[in-house]
């Protein structure tokens, strides 16, 4: 009888805790429903209509998706986005890991000061960073071109030359992500057990062997996390391309988000096409992330 009473008491407590938990989650669920779920459903619905702010909606089915997939500018924007992924993601990971590896071997007081300094760019908005680097890459009065002219060379046309346009977007992007990525790598490096390196030293391993066989494998989860975050962020690049090049030259730096933004600025055009492009990009990002997480899950199950 006492056992039943105790069991009933525990059940009542658990039920009360569940009710409290659901009540605490309710505001978050409500906000997500209002600002994420409902707009998402409305956007899917609107993508099947030809519409803008000045005329009645017209049902067109999947015609918007067909038009956006055949649109040469959108196709170029998607290809450009994946080019930026291939350029920026490996470059950022290598730079951030190298910087963090250097910080690990510095004096602790000096390391803290450097970490604070390199994290400053991470607190700056992309628009502000774009303005800062506009003054650096400007054709006539930019800092780099002033130095180039002083050395007796011709000015660099960062907005009209394809290579330099991509370069002018890559540099501020790498700069913005340097602080957060370096600190993430630094946290991963200091959590690697020192016993691994001591055992390797006893076996005669040099610094390169330790890097290849201990450090990099132990940092795998950090690298995967960075790959996912950077790939998602790069596919959604907007502020830096808009400020630095506006998609020029000849749409070689046009990104999907910049294309979508330009479409919504044209209030008299068909918003259904633009909305379809946004949904397609969301689907691409979701598929990539799902694929990566599936691989990670399968690898963990194999290890287990």
Nearest to 96 by CA among 184, 167, 168: 184
Which pLDDT score, from 0 to 100, does residue 10 have?
58
Nearest to 129 by CA among 233, 228, 230, 244: 244
Tell me the C-alpha to C-alpha distance, in Å, between residue 290 and each of 98, 185, 285, 295: 29, 24, 9, 9
What percent of the chain is modeled with pLDDT above 70?
Answer: 91
pTM of the model: 0.84
Tell me the C-alpha to C-alpha distance, in Å, between residue 18 and each of 12, 27, 108: 10, 15, 46
Q: For residue 100, what are the contacts with CB-CB under 8 A and spacing of at least 6?
A: 182, 183, 184, 185, 186, 188, 189
Which pLDDT score, from 0 to 100, does residue 92 have?
95
Q: What is the DSSP string of 166-229?
A: HHHHHHHHHHHHHHHHHHHHHHHHHTS-HHHHHHHHHTT--HHHHIIIIIHHHTHHHHHHHHHH
Cα–Cα dist 57/230, whole Å:
37
Which pLDDT score, from 0 to 100, does residue 256 have?
94
- pLDDT tens-digit map of 162-185: 999 999 999 999 999 998 899 899
Start-to-end CA span in the chain (Å): 43
The CATH code that applies to domain 66-303 is 1.10.3720.10
Cβ–Cβ < 8 Å for 64, 272: yes
Positions of the chain with pLDDT under 50 = 301-304
Which pLDDT score, from 0 to 100, does residue 304 have?
43
DSSP 34: I
Cβ–Cβ < 8 Å for 249, 230: no
Cα–Cα dist 304/290, whole Å:
21
Which pLDDT score, from 0 to 100, does residue 301 have?
42
Cα–Cα dist 53/272, whole Å:
11
Q: For residue 260, what are the contacts with CB-CB under 8 A and spacing of at least 6?
A: 274, 277, 278, 281
Please classify residue 277 by burial: count the beta carbons closer than 10 Å to its beta carbon, then call 0-12 exposed, 13-18 middle and 19+ buried.
buried
Tell me the C-alpha to C-alpha distance, in Å, between residue 107 and each of 4, 102, 104, 167: 62, 11, 8, 34
DSSP 157: -
Which residues is 59 bridged to in the sheet? 49
Task: Count the Cβ atoms, other than its own, within 10 Å of residue 120.
Answer: 10
Q: Is 4 left (phi over 0), alpha (psi -120 to 50) or beta?
A: alpha
């Amino acid at each position: 009888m006492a056992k039943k009473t105790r069991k009933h008491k525990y059940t009542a407590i658990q039920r009360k805790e569940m009710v409290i938990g659901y009540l605490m989650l309710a505001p978050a669920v409500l906000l997500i429903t209002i600002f994420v779920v409902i707009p998402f459903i409305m956007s899917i619905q609107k993508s099947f209509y030809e519409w803008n702010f000045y005329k009645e909606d017209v049902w067109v089915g999947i015609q918007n998706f067909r038009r956006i997939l055949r649109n040469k500018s959108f196709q170029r924007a998607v290809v450009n986005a994946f080019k930026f992924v291939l350029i920026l993601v490996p470059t950022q990971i290598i730079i951030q890991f190298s910087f963090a590896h250097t910080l690990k071997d510095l004096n602790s007081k000096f390391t803290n000061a450097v970490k604070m300094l390199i994290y400053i760019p991470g607190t700056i908005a992309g628009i502000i960073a774009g303005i800062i680097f506009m003054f650096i890459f400007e054709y006539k009065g930019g800092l780099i071109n002033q130095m180039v002219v002083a050395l007796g060379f011709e000015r660099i046309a960062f907005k009209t030359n394809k290579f330099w346009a991509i370069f002018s977007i890559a540099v501020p992007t790498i700069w913005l992500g340097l602080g957060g990525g370096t600190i993430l790598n630094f946290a991963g490096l200091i959590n690697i057990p020192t016993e691994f390196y001591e055992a390797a030293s006893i076996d005669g391993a040099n610094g390169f062997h330790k890097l290849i066989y201990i450090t990099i494998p132990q940092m795998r989860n950090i690298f995967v996390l960075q790959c996912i975050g950077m790939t998602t962020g790069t596919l959604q690049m907007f502020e830096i391309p808009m400020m630095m090049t506006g998609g020029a030259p000849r749409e070689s730096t046009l990104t999907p988000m910049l294309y979508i933004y330009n479409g919504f600025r044209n209030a008299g055009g068909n918003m259904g096409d633009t909305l379809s492009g946004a949904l397609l990009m969301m689907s691409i990002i979701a598929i990539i992330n799902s694929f990566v997480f599936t691989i990670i899950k399968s690898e963990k199950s194999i290890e287990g």
